[in-house]
C-alpha cells in the first residue's frame, strides 16, 4: 500500500490527441461534419475484436493511471472508491486519490424516488472584487477557489462495473445485502463548473463569467474480490450539457478526445445568480430508455441536456479487455431506500447534493515551470505554490509532493481564455487533493450571506422532489475521512472533524427560510438550522462504510 499523495507522473504525460480522425481497433472514428452528428461521430465499421478498442488517448481511467492509455483531460473530477474487501481507502495502480465531498443524501422508500428527481436551485454569485491572497479566512474569495464542481448524483446500472454482476434497471433488488455484493453499479455526477479559472481542458472553468455543467458517469473495473484491471480501472463517460443535446466530442472512455472537453457554441452557459430547474430521470429513447440530465435556466429561458445512450456515443467498458460497447445507461434503483447505495463507494451515496472541495490553493507566487500538450493545445503550468496559504512549501512532502497545476493571475493560456483571476493551484497532478488542508476550502472563506460580500453568495437549493413529493428523510455524509493520513476508516480511530489544517474549518449545510421558502445552503451560513455545523457529518465507524456519516434523520418540513 503506497503512502498518501504518491507521485503521479502518468497524469502529466504529453497528450497528443486529434479530432480529425482516430483509428479505433479496425474501425475509423470520423469527426462529424454536421450538428446532428457533432458529438457521436460515426463508427464506419465494427471492431473485428469485439467492441470498440481504446485509442491511445481517452478516459479509460478517470484518475489518469491507465497502463495502456494517456488521459485527455488531466484535471478530471472522479467518483470516490472504497476497497470493498478491506473496507479501506482505494489506491489506483498504487496511487491514493484524494476526495472530499460533503453532501446531503435524500432518502425515501417511495418507488420512483431514485430514478426521477427534480431540483430547483439558484446559483451562487461571486464578489464583484477580484480574489485576494493575504489573510486566509478573510480573503475575497470566488467559487472556483472553494469548489471546482458542486454536483447532483444518482446510482446507475452497469453490469460491467463493480461488482460485475447483472443489474436490472430501476430495481431495488440490486441493493447489496448479506453476502450479495449488489448489482453492477456506476455513479452519475451531474457536475456544475464555476467561472473564473479557465480553460476547461486543463483547469476547471468553461470561461471567465459563466457556469456550465456536464454529465459524468464513472464505472469501476474491479471484481467482487477487488482485483482491478489496471488498464481501465475507473472508466468515465462525459458530456457537457448542450442546448441541442449532442455531445461536443466522443463521450466514451475509449474515444474521448480534446473536443469532448472543449465547450462549443451549443454548450449551456449559465450566469451567476440564475434560477435553475434540474431534472434527472430515465428518458424514452429509440429502442428503450436512457438516463437524461436536463437543466432549464428559468432566468434566461435556455435549457441544455445530455442523454447517456449508445446512440449518443456512450459506452460501457469490458472489464477484461477495456473495449467499449454502445450502452444505454439507466438508473439503478427505483426507490431511494437507506440500503440502496453505490456498493463500491465510501459512505451512503445515491440521490445526493454535494460540493467537491479540497482542490485549490491561492498563491502570491508559483515556481517550477512545466509544459503540458493536449493535441493542438499546449499550456504552461507550475508545480509549487508560495504564500500565506502555503507557508512551508510542499517539495518533498509525504502528503503533497507538489500543488500542480498552478497558473498565474492574468494567464490567458495562450490566448484561448479570459485571464485567470488569481494566482493559484488545483492540486491535481500528484497529491490529487489538498491533503494537508491548507487551501481555501478549509478556511472560513465560504458564503456567509445570501448576497455576495467578501465571499460568494450561497447556492439556494429547494427541497428536491420526485413525483411531486419531497423526500421524508436525509443523511449528512462526507468521504473526507480517507484523506486523513491517520484515520482508520474501519474503526474510526484517528479520524477528526474538522480536518487537521491551519484553518480549523469545514463547510456545512444549513436549512434556512429565504423569501418565505425553506432552502438548503452550503458554506458558513448561520441564518437557519445548521444541524451543529461540521458535527452534522457524524463520525467514522464500523457501520459508516468508511465515511463520516450522520444518522438517517427526518427531513424538516419547516425552517
**Is 425 a member of any domain?**
no
pLDDT digits (tens, 9 = 90+) for 197-256: 999 999 999 999 999 999 999 999 999 889 999 999 999 999 999 999 999 999 999 999
**Is 241 a member of any domain?**
yes
CB atoms closer than 10 angstroms to residue 377: 18
- What sign does the dihedral 98-395-427-358 (CA atoms) show? positive
Residue that finishes a domain, picked among 291, 321, 356: 356
> Cell for 420?
485567470
**Is 370 a member of any domain?**
no
- 335 with 449, same domain: the answer is no
In the prediction, which pLDDT does 122 show? 98
- Backbone phi, psi, residue 143, to 5°: -60, -35
Strand blocks (E) in 286-376: 288-297, 303-307, 315-317, 324-326, 330-331, 352-356, 361-362, 365-374
Q: Point out the least confidently predicted range of 93-97, 272-276, 469-473, 476-480.
A: 93-97
Q: If you search the block for the grid coordinates 503540458, which residue do you land on?
A: 372
Burial of 368 (0-12, 13-18, 19+ CB in 10 A): middle
> Cell for 308?
447517456
* R_g over Cα of the chain: 21
**Is 319 a member of any domain?**
yes
- What sign does the dihedral 194-198-199-204 (CA atoms) show? negative
- 136 with 265, same domain: the answer is yes
- 474 with 342, same domain: the answer is no
- Name the H helices within 375-467: none
- 347 with 493, same domain: the answer is no
**Is 410 a member of any domain?**
no
Residue-averaged pLDDT of the chain: 90
- 336 with 227, same domain: the answer is yes
- 83 with 213, same domain: the answer is yes
- Backbone phi, psi, residue 36, to 5°: -65, -30
**Is 473 a member of any domain?**
yes
Q: Which domain holds residue 255?
A: 9-356
Q: What is the mean pLDDT of residues 331-357?
A: 97
Residue that finishes a domain, picked among 306, 336, 356: 356
Q: Is the pLDDT of residue 85 over 70?
A: yes
How many CA atoms does the CB half-sphere of 73 hold within 13 Å? 29
Residue that finishes a domain, picked among 296, 329, 356: 356
How many CA atoms does the CB half-sphere of 545 hold within 13 Å? 22
Burial of 227 (0-12, 13-18, 19+ CB in 10 A): exposed
- 191 with 310, same domain: the answer is yes
| pTM (predicted TM-score) | 0.91
**Is 15 a member of any domain?**
yes
- Backbone phi, psi, residue 174, to 5°: -75, -10
Contacts of 170 (CB under 8 A, 6+ apart): 114, 115, 282, 330, 331, 332, 333, 334
**137: pLDDT confidence band, cut at 50, 70 and 90?**
very high
> Cell for 359?
482542490
DSSP annotation string for 12-69: GS-B---SSEEEETTEEEEPP-SGGGTTT-EE-S--TTSSBPPPSEE-SSTTS--SS-
- 349 with 484, same domain: the answer is no
- The 3-class secondary structure across 173-206, one letter per residue, is HHCCECCECCCCEEEEEEEEECCCCCCCCCCCCC
- 447 with 344, same domain: the answer is no
Q: How many domains does the chain have?
A: 2
- 94 with 204, same domain: the answer is yes
**Is 315 a member of any domain?**
yes
- 159 with 296, same domain: the answer is yes
Amino acid at each position: 500500500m503506497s503512502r498518501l499523495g504518491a507521485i503521479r507522473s502518468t497524469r502529466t504525460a504529453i497528450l497528443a490527441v486529434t479530432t480529425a480522425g482516430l483509428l479505433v481497433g479496425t474501425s475509423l472514428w470520423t469527426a462529424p461534419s454536421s450538428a446532428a452528428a457533432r458529438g457521436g461521430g460515426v463508427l464506419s465499421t465494427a471492431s473485428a475484436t469485439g467492441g470498440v478498442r481504446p485509442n491511445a488517448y481517452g478516459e479509460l481511467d478517470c484518475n489518469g493511471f491507465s497502463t495502456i492509455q494517456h488521459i485527455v483531460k488531466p484535471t478530471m473530477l472522479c467518483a470516490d472508491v472504497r476497497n470493498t474487501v478491506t473496507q479501506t481507502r482505494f489506491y489506483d495502480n498504487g496511487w491514493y486519490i484524494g476526495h472530499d465531498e460533503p453532501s446531503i443524501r435524500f432518502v425515501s422508500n417511495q418507488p420512483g424516488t431514485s430514478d426521477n428527481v427534480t431540483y430547483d436551485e439558484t446559483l451562487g454569485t461571486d464578489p464583484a472584487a477580484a480574489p485576494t491572497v493575504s489573510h486566509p479566512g478573510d480573503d475575497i474569495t470566488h467559487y472556483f477557489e472553494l469548489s471546482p464542481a458542486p454536483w447532483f448524483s444518482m446510482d446507475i446500472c452497469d453490469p460491467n462495473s463493480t461488482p460485475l454482476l447483472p443489474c436490472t434497471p430501476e430495481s431495488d433488488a440490486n441493493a447489496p445485502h448479506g453476502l450479495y455484493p449488489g448489482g453492477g453499479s456506476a455513479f452519475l455526477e451531474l457536475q456544475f463548473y464555476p467561472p473564473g479559472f479557465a480553460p476547461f481542458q486543463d483547469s476547471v472553468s468553461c470561461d471567465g463569467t459563466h457556469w456550465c455543467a456536464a454529465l459524468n458517469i464513472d464505472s469501476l473495473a474491479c471484481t467482487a474480490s477487488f482485483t482491478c484491471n489496471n488498464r481501465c480501472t475507473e472508466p468515465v463517460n462525459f458530456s457537457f450539457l448542450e442546448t441541442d443535446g449532442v455531445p461536443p466530442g466522443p463521450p466514451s472512455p475509449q474515444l474521448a478526445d480534446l473536443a469532448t472537453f472543449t465547450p462549443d457554441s451549443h454548450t449551456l452557459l449559465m450566469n451567476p445568480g440564475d434560477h435553475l430547474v434540474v431534472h434527472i430521470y430515465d428518458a424514452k429513447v429509440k429502442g428503450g430508455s436512457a438516463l437524461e440530465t436536463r437543466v432549464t435556466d428559468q432566468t434566461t429561458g435556455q435549457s441544455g441536456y445530455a442523454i447517456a445512450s449508445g446512440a449518443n456515443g456512450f459506452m460501457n467498458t469490458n472489464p477484461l479487455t477495456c473495449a467499449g460497447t454502445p450502452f444505454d445507461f439507466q438508473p439503478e434503483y427505483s426507490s431511494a431506500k437507506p440500503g440502496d447505495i453505490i456498493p463500491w463507494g465510501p459512505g451512503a451515496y445515491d440521490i445526493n447534493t454535494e460540493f467537491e472541495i479540497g482542490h485549490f490553493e491561492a498563491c502570491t507566487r508559483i515556481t517550477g515551470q512545466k509544459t503540458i500538450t493536449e493535441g493542438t493545445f499546449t499550456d504552461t503550468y507550475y508545480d509549487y505554490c508560495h504564500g500565506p496559504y502555503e507557508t512551508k512549501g510542499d517539495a518533498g512532502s509525504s502528503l503533497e509532493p507538489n500543488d500542480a497545476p498552478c497558473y498565474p493571475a492574468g494567464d490567458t493560456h495562450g490566448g484561448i481564455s479570459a485571464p485567470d483571476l488569481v494566482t493559484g493551484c488545483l492540486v491535481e497532478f500528484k497529491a490529487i487533493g489538498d491533503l494537508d488542508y491548507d487551501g481555501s476550502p478549509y478556511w472560513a472563506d465560504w458564503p456567509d450571506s445570501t448576497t455576495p460580500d467578501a465571499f460568494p453568495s450561497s447556492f439556494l437549493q429547494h427541497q428536491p422532489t420526485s413525483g411531486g413529493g419531497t423526500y421524508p428523510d436525509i443523511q449528512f455524509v462526507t468521504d473526507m475521512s480517507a484523506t486523513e493520513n491517520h484515520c482508520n476508516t474501519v474503526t474510526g480511530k484517528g479520524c477528526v472533524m474538522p480536518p487537521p489544517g491551519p484553518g480549523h474549518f469545514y463547510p456545512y449545510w444549513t436549512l434556512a427560510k429565504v423569501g418565505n421558502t425553506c432552502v438548503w445552503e452550503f458554506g458558513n451560513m448561520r441564518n437557519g438550522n445548521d444541524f451543529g455545523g461540521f458535527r452534522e457529518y457524524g463520525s467514522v465507524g464500523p457501520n459508516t462504510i468508511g465515511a463520516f456519516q450522520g444518522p438517517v434523520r427526518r427531513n424538516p418540513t419547516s425552517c
